[in-house]
Structure 1
Amino acid sequence: MKRLLIVHHTTSPNLQAMFEAVRSGASTDEIEGVEVVARPALTAGAVDVLEADGLVLGTPVNIGYISGALKHFFDQIYYPCLEATVRRPYAAYLHGAGDAAGALRALETITTGLGWRAVRPPLVVTGEPAKADLEACWELGALAAAELAGL
């Protein structure tokens, strides 16, 4: 069975709604053969990443950057996972109150350094997530799981 790891820093009700939608999409009954595991960014580590076949990353945009928790996650896993996870598929969702350009740039720089492969462009939501935003989160989770299932 393939394993999809959701690494998230869920700091608000808006991010919680997005996380739940992503997890629901990744866990849909329509996609078989994928185990979904969720870990907070401050507790996820290299073993979690090495045991995963793909990842979904979730973060708030804080002062134009990814959260310190997600940056800490990357700091912890970078060298232990550098060679072993090349071409690992990933997806990402970000939530902020404004411009996410710096957070997107950081995410791209780090994942490019790891050699990971985006299954779609990161999903960015500003303000309170609308129904369409939560549907996009569900689709992001489903797409990440489908990628692992070979669909």
Structure 2
Amino acid sequence: MPKRLLIVAHAPSPNIERLRDAALAGARAPEIEDVEAQALSPFDARPEHVLAAQAILLGTPENLGYMSGALKDFFDRCYYPLLEKTEGLPYALFIRAGSDGTGTRRAVESIATGLRWRSVHEPLICRGPWREEFVEEARDLGMFVAAGLDAGIF
């Protein structure tokens, strides 16, 4: 039975949509043989989606130095139903940050720590003005998480 990678990403702009889509494409690369990847909006993701996944990739824009309200809504709805049921869940994070992304990173990591999820990659923080290389970096992150899951590394 294939393993599942869930991508929960808020993509309110075309550039962040590109990051989400690139992460999903990386996770679905032909080299990844035994992983099903699914991308959902934080508004559509429910606890049962997370419980069915063996890893999660989170994506958010930086909004006023914090994660998007949509990702916060996801955590608000899902935190307690997931608490103690997803300990050790491998996760990674990408942030589209107009400034530095530090507050956003800290907020997401704090919640993930409370859930006892396990970070498997340094957060990808796409800082400053838009650069096309952000798309390739997001693709690489999606592929990394899926490949690690596929290989049984996490």
The alignment's TM-score, normalised by the length of structure 1, stands at 0.95
1:2-13 superposed matches below 5 A: 2-13=3-14
**Structure 1 CA distance for aligned equivalents of residues 57 and 141 of structure 2:** 9
Secondary structure of the 1:64 match is coil
Match of 2:72 in 1: 71
Deviation for aligned residue 1:128: 4.5
Task: Please list every run of 5 or more consecutive structure 2 residues that lacks an aligned counterpart in the other structure.
Answer: none
In the TM superposition, structure 1's runs of 4+ consecutive aligned residues that sit over 3 Å from their partners are none
Distance in 1, matches of 2:102 and 2:65, equals 7
Deviations 1:75-110 (A, max 9, x none): 111111111110100111110211211111101100
CA offsets per residue over residues 100-140 of structure 1, 9 Å max, x none?
Answer: 11111101100010011111111011245423221111110
C-alpha separation between the residues in 2 aligned to 1:32 and 1:127?
35
Instruction: Report percent identity of matched pairs.
Output: 45
- What is the rounded CA distance, in whole Å, between the counterparts of 1:145 and 1:57 in structure 2? 13
Unaligned runs of 5+ in 1: none
Equivalent residues, number = 151
Q: Alpha-carbon deviations, 1:20-49, whole Å to 9, x = none?
A: 111110000101110011110011010110
TM-score by length of 2: 0.94
Report the 3-state secondary structure (helix = DSSP H, G, I; strand = E; otherwise coil) of the residue aligned with 1:3: strand
RMSD value over aligned CA atoms? 1.2
Partner of 1:26: 27
The match for 1:59 is 60
CA distance in 2, matches of 1:128, 1:13: 14
